[in-house]
A and B are shown apart, each in its own frame.
Chain A
Amino acid sequence: GAVVSQHPSWVICKSGTSVKIECRSLDFQATTMFWYRQFPKQSLMLMATSNEGSKATYEQGVEKDKFLINHASLTLSTLTVTSAHPEDSSFYICSAQLAGETQYFGPGTRLLVL
């Protein structure tokens, strides 16, 4: 149980385009989902907390107009990187929280912006 999927697993796009990443909790309902960014050989950096039916809460320094988050249902949250640039290239990971406690993570999305 507690499986989280993420799609796509990797994406290459041209600079200036927008990319949408989906995060789904497959076998449980998650009122809260999280989006992280991870640079090589570093820990996870929380970008935003997404609660179902309400606006996401962004961490300091994360541009909310750049990284659009939608959490329309208890099993789906999306992250859209708008007008992506090479510096947005990274590994993006989502997680879904079960019963207000443990976070279960998706497999991650590798984004490369050319």
Chain B
Amino acid sequence: AQTVTQSQPEMSVQEAETVTLSCTYDTSENNYYLFWYKQPPSRQMILVIRQEAYKQQNATENRFSVNFQKAAKSFSLKISDSQLGDTAMYFCAFMNQGAQKLVFGQGTRLTINP
């Protein structure tokens, strides 16, 4: 069974700093998708970024980028120029191609301080 591990329960940085959230996963499959979701205090789950495993190029969405290391089974999220609105729980998630289900990590609570 696939597992997703987020080793940092909580992180805190100052506004405008760069922060990296870690995520590792375990799978024997070759084709899959990886996601980062953000859950702010409103509890609405918001898709931050997505990566297809067959793509070598790291996904980027504005201030958010990932470092996808397929061999190491690592999928970290980098937030540049952090903003107060980035304060949220961040969940890393894995999905096998064609499997439908998402496997979530335990989450990292990120606080951006003014």
Do these two chains really belong together in a complex?
A: yes
Query: Are A101 and B95 within 8 A (Cβ)?
Result: yes
Interface residues of A in 1-49 (CB under 8 A from B): 32, 34, 38, 42-44, 46, 49
CB contact list, B39-77 vs A, under 8 A? 42-47, 50
Please state if A100 and B104 are interface contacts (CB–CB under 8 Å). Answer: no
Chain A neighbourhood of B105, CB < 8 A: 43
Residues on the A chain within 8 Å of B95, using CB: 101
Contact at B43–A95, with CB atoms within 8 Å? no
Residue of A38, A97, A107 touching B42 (CB-CB under 8 A): A107
Q: Which of B43, B100, B104 contacts A108 (CB 8 A)?
A: B43
Rounded to whole angstroms, the CA-CA distance of A52 and B85 in the bound complex is 36
Contact B44 A104 (CB under 8 A): no
Q: Which residues of B contact A (CB under 8 A)?
A: 33, 35, 37, 42-47, 50, 91, 95, 98, 100-102, 104-107
In the complex, the 8 A-B pairs of residues with the closest C-beta atoms, listed nearest first: A105-B45, A107-B44, A43-B104, A108-B43, A43-B107, A43-B106, A44-B104, A32-B100
